[in-house]
Homo-oligomer: A and B are copies of this chain.
Amino acid sequence: MKAEDRFVEKLRESLGADPGDPYGIGDDAAVLPRAAGDLVITTDLLVEAVDFAPGEDPEAIGRRAVAVNASDIAAMGAHPEQFLLAIGLPSPLAGEYALALARGAAERGRELGARLVGGDLSRAREVFAAVTMWGRMEDEAPPLRRSGSAAGDAVFLSGWPGRAAAGLWLAAHPGSRVDAGVRDELSAALRDPQPRVTLGAALARERLATAAIDVSDGLGVDAGRLARASRVRLVLEAEALPVSPALAAGARSAGCDPLGWILSGGDDYELLFTAPPNAATAVERAARAAGVPVHRIGRVETGEGAFLAAGGERRDVSGAGHDHLENPA
């Protein structure tokens, strides 16, 4: 039996999979169960030394690879359903390492309602994981796109962005003085992000949002993307941006402005969306039901770009963000 076949057998065992299951792992391709509701599908790469440190725990990498894909599914308003996992890794890691990564992915998938149904495994010089995940819209709801926003809409943001960037700063500065609770919260935001699936699905099902995007590369650049797709301008109020107590504590320790982490930090996996102002009460209700805070942070105007308004001044923040292709400055 070839190494890839042995891997698939071990993985099946480790997941307690039924070999006769028609939707299980192990054929040339996976079969999608038929059901009502549009399907949406996404793929996201995690690459060693770009998205995770060379020594990182493989289960944590697998968990994160699944979570970041689920965030894209959430931003479309769908429920994660199944996923494929392709792993590249140096030969010496092919055994336990790959299994641990796949186990982490499968476990995180289960937590989010999505099942591992296939994948690929190849030798490579560095470790990388490519997850492809699909999800289904509830109740015939149309998918949430980036392009439906209109002048006059309000801008909303879920959760507490900036924390992953603060967690990254803390990891690079282990001697910095912050409470253990703060450190734990900021590290967890980086290591094990929480995609906003329940909120996204509610925004789509109740037709509340006119446009949505997940904030993966920093609020500035992702607001710019939503603005460009919708051919509008987003104006964000600096005073309305949600600074969590942990983020504020991290910023004090680093001696920096927490807004910098919010605008250009990346890896938040919060939802940025627009909705008519009269939908604000319904948005609040959906947020409460999902157990996720949602803040109203600005408004949509005619024009282009994403601007931060502070003290009567505006500056373009659509270029402020993490760039997966260029080296950090």
> Residues of A with Cβ closer than 8 Å to B?
1-5, 7, 26-32, 34, 38-45, 47, 49-51, 72-73, 75-76, 78, 84, 86, 88, 91, 94, 118-126, 128, 130, 132, 134-135, 143, 145-147, 212-214, 217, 221, 224-225, 228-229, 318-319, 321, 323-327
Q: Is the CB of A42 within 8 A of B28?
A: yes
Question: Of all chain B residues, which has the CB nearest A89?
Answer: B325
Q: Is the CB of B145 within 8 A of A75?
A: no
Q: Is the CB of A29 within 8 A of B321?
A: no
Cα–Cα, bound, A284→B49 (Å): 53
Distance of A77 from chain B, by nearest CB (Å): 10
Choose from B32, B44, B50, B122 the contact partner of A124 (Cβ within 8 Å).
Answer: B50
Choose from B39, B75, B86, B327 the contact partner of A91 (Cβ within 8 Å).
Answer: B327
Q: Is the CB of A143 within 8 A of B31?
A: yes
Choose from B72, B94, B221 the contact partner of A325 (Cβ within 8 Å).
Answer: B94
Cα–Cα, bound, A40→B84 (Å): 12
Q: Is the CB of A122 within 8 A of B324?
A: yes
Please judge, given known A-B contacts A1-B319, A323-B2, A325-B121, whether A229 and B86 are in contact too, CB under 8 Å: no
Q: Is the CB of B42 within 8 A of A118?
A: yes
Choose from B30, B38, B123 the contact partner of A50 (Cβ within 8 Å).
Answer: B123
Q: Is the CB of A5 within 8 A of B325?
A: no
Chain B residues near A125: list those with CB within 8 A.
49, 125-126
Please judge, given known A-B contacts A38-B34, A229-B26, A324-B4, whether A123 and B47 are in contact too, CB under 8 Å: yes
Distance of A110 from chain B, by nearest CB (Å): 19
Cα–Cα, bound, A134→B321 (Å): 33
Q: Is the CB of B2 within 8 A of A217?
A: yes
7 new A-B contacts at CB < 8 Å, known A1-B319, A122-B325, A123-B324: A1-B318, A26-B229, A27-B146, A28-B75, A28-B146, A29-B73, A84-B132
Chain B residues near A50: list those with CB within 8 A.
122-124
Closest 5 CB pairs of A and B: A29-B42, A3-B325, A132-B132, A28-B75, A130-B130
With most chain B CB atoms within 10 A of its CB, the pick from A132, A143, A225 is A132
Q: Is the CB of B123 within 8 A of A3?
A: no
Chain B residues near A2: list those with CB within 8 A.
217, 221, 319, 321, 323, 325
Q: Is the CB of A28 within 8 A of B86?
A: no
Chain B residues near A118: list those with CB within 8 A.
41-43
Chain B residues near A30: list those with CB within 8 A.
40-42
7 A-B contacts, Cβ less than 8 Å apart? A2-B221, A27-B147, A29-B143, A30-B41, A31-B76, A84-B132, A132-B132
Cα–Cα, bound, A130→B44 (Å): 10
Chain B residues near A130: list those with CB within 8 A.
43, 45, 86, 120, 130
